[in-house]
Chain A
Amino acid sequence: MAPENFVRTPQGKELAFLCLDLGYRLADRVQDLTRGQINFLVAAYNYRAELTSLMARLQRDEGTTGWVFME
Chain B
Amino acid sequence: MADMPKQSSSPKDSLTKEDILAGRERRETLHLDAYGKVVVIRPLTDGEFTEVFKLFGDVPIDERGYPDLSKVDVHKNLVALRKIAAMALIEPKLTEEEVGHMAFGVPGAIAHRVLEISGLAPGSSDGARKFRADAAR
Give chain A's interface residues, CB within 8 Å of chain B.
1-6, 11-12, 14-15, 26-27, 29-40, 42-43
Which of B17-25, B33-41, B78-86 is the contact stretch? B17-25
Q: Are B24 and A34 in contact (CB under 8 A)?
A: yes
Q: Are A34 and B128 in contact (CB under 8 A)?
A: no
Report chain A residues within 8 Å CB of B24.
27, 32, 34
**CB within 8 A of B126: which of A2, A26, A40?**
A2
Interface: B5 (CB within 8 A): no
Report chain A residues within 8 Å CB of B118.
34-36
C-alpha spacing A33/B16, complex, angstroms: 15
Q: Are B20 and A15 in contact (CB under 8 A)?
A: yes
Can you list 20 A-B contacts with CB-CB less than 8 angstroms, sorted by A residue number?
A: A1-B14, A1-B16, A2-B128, A2-B130, A3-B128, A11-B16, A26-B21, A27-B23, A31-B45, A31-B46, A33-B45, A34-B26, A34-B43, A34-B45, A34-B46, A35-B43, A35-B119, A35-B120, A39-B119, A39-B128
Q: How large is the interface on B (under 10, 10 to 19, 20 to 34, 35 or more residues)?
A: 20 to 34
Closest residue on chain A to residue B50 by CB atoms: A31
**Which of B23, B26, B120: most chain A CB closer than 10 A?**
B23
Report chain B residues within 8 Å CB of A1.
14-16, 125, 127
Do A29 and B47 contact each other (CB < 8 Å), given the known contacts A1-B15, A11-B17? yes
Report chain B residues within 8 Å CB of A27.
23-24, 45
**CB within 8 A of A5: which of B45, B49, B50, B127?**
B127
Report chain A residues within 8 Å CB of B134.
4
A-B complex: 4 closest residue pairs judged by Cβ atoms: A31-B47, A2-B127, A35-B119, A11-B17
**Which of B15, B19, B118, B130: most chain A CB closer than 10 A?**
B15
A20 to chain B, nearest CB (A): 13
C-alpha spacing A39/B46, complex, angstroms: 12
